[in-house]
Chain A
Amino acid sequence: MGLLNFTRDPVPEAVSGDMHNLNQLSAQQFSELTEVLFRFLTEPKEVERFLTQLSDFATMNKISLGPLKNIVKSILLVPNGALKRNLSSEQVRADFIALGLSEEKASYFAEQWKVNSPTLTRLAVGQTLMINQLIDMEWKFGVTAGSSELEKVGSIFLQLKLVVKKGTQLENVYVELTLPQFYSFLHEMERVKTSLESFS
């Protein structure tokens, strides 16, 4: 087997056997299986649903579930590696062919990869580490009417509640700003936006 695009590590031996079994599926069956796989890849939290759909596929096509799961494990190696390395659909196709999948099926899968890759890329970027991610911001502003030191005040205050994700927990941070501080804050945030946009 030549150099693969999706991985530099040696591929498990079972993979060529699994590809051979895949080639035995009809075009229709392969297309259904591919659909199930991509639905899982684009919604990786839906594990239960994925397993149910796999089991339904196995029953309908009279394939045993055990071997099917192994086949699926082998197939998934390629899109996972491809996502990490930003591979093109031609590279994905070439890798499947190198692993032993028929040209027709490899081309089909690569097509589906092309269609789904923006969603998948966005998901992978979303999983990238973020430190103290800002999740939400709530605010209120009002007028201070009086205090124990000043009977009548009449100054404006602005209170922000920032919801920050620290590790797995959410933490609330409360801050008060005066009006000049608010305008300065807004001005700085607009500068950040300009900066971010120039780098996008």
Chain B
Amino acid sequence: MAALGDGDFAALQILLKAPSKDAVRQLCQECFSSPPAAPGPLAQRACPGLAVSAEEAEQLVSALHNLTRHVVYRGLTGAEDILCLFPENFHQNLKNLLTKIILENISAWRNEAQASQISLPRLVDMDWRVDIKTSSDSIVRMAVPTCLLQLKIQEDAALCGNNPVVSALTVELSKETLDTMLEGLGRIRDQLSAVANK
């Protein structure tokens, strides 16, 4: 993640025209979550309140996005670390306000970044039911228990944007398969405990 350039800090000074501290706060939160490649829509919403041109508003949105993302990326937690990012001649009060807002939101933003990380399709839900098979074309009468397991799997959030695709997969397990699976899961649990206890 590239550090911020002078152009970014210049753009940030536009915030001095903001109507209130809450407006700045609101804008910071929205800029963090906005996609970096498309500052347009958010900028258009912001520029009336700031009385700037669309182009300047876009620069501001980009700059705020870069600033907030940079802090989250580096994992900065202290006020001093954040204050150090700003150049010497940056407006003092604005610098303090931005630092304060960032510190307020940092852990929520960190969680959001982690949640939207790329990953394999994620398990979102699971349900099961146990059936007793009483008859089939190969045996007229039997009483064989079997398990149906439904896994709801969500594709990578980053690919789907706001409409995550959730697919349901239903698998059937015999008792033997379930026992083997539990053995495997037990081994995972043991290894996890071993790692946690190190």
Contact = CB atoms under 8 A, between A and B. Distances in A.
Contact of A150 (B110, B128, B139, B189): B110
B123 A127 contact: no
Contacts of A181: 123
B121 A134 contact: no
Given A149-B73, A179-B192, A189-B182, A195 B130 contact: yes
Given A150-B72, A182-B188, A176 B139 contact: no
A134 B188 contact: no
Nearest to A141: B188
Give chain B's interface secondary structure class. mixed
B117 to A, nearest CB: 5
Nearest to B184: A137
A16 B117 CA distance: 74
A134 B128 contact: no
A167 B142 CA distance: 23
B140 to A, nearest CB: 5
Nearest to A156: B192
B128 A125 contact: no
Contacts of A151: 1, 73-75
Given A129-B136, A173-B153, A134 B172 contact: yes
Given A125-B142, A130-B172, A188-B128, A149 B136 contact: no
B171 A150 contact: no
B38 interface: no
Contacts of B142: 86, 125, 128
Given A131-B170, A144-B117, A196-B145, A85 B140 contact: yes
Interface in A165-192: 173-177, 179, 181-183, 185-186, 188-190, 192
A179 to B, nearest CB: 7
Interface of A: 83-86, 121, 124-125, 127-135, 137, 139, 141, 144, 147-153, 155-159, 162, 164, 173-177, 179, 181-183, 185-186, 188-190, 192-193, 195-197, 199-200
